[in-house]
Amino acid sequence: MNFTKSLLTFGLASTLLFSCKDTASKPIAGSDETNTKKEVAVAAKPETASFKIDGMTCAMGCAKTIESKLSKMNGVQKATVDFDKKQATVEFDAAIISPENLSKTVEATGDGETYKVSGMQTKGKV
């Protein structure tokens, strides 16, 4: 009797395990997971901003973190941060984002007081 219960339990567990669809790896429409991929489109009003970042102490921890935050912003096409020159260059769509938003994002990275942006220069692309 005990063997029959064990066999029945094993069969039921196996059936449930193998009959369920794998939905865990597929994002649900409208969820945050589907919105994490940034769509790259042609910029309506392309501009490039260059500015100095004071307060960076290392290439991997500081520069790469700032570069990653800038790159993930909606409207940013490309962002590079040069630790040695303490310089950032960002290609962005001015119709979506402003240079002030770029500056605020950099200065808010970390504890909000470490990085300071200066010498913001923008130029439109033709």
Mean pLDDT, range 7-30, rounded to an integer: 53
> Quick check: is 20 in a domain?
no
CA-to-CA separations, 53 to 75, 78, 124, in angstroms, rounded: 21, 17, 21
> Quick check: is 103 in a domain?
yes
The three-class DSSP label of residue 123 is strand
pLDDT band for 57, please (50, 70, 90 cuts): very high
Q: What is the CATH number of the domain that holds 59?
A: 3.30.70.100
How many structural domains compose the chain? 1
Quote the mean pLDDT of the chain. 80
pTM of model > 0.95: no
Q: Which domain holds residue 88?
A: 43-124
Percent of the chain past pLDDT 90, that is, above it, reads 57
> Quick check: is 19 in a domain?
no
> Quick check: is 37 in a domain?
no
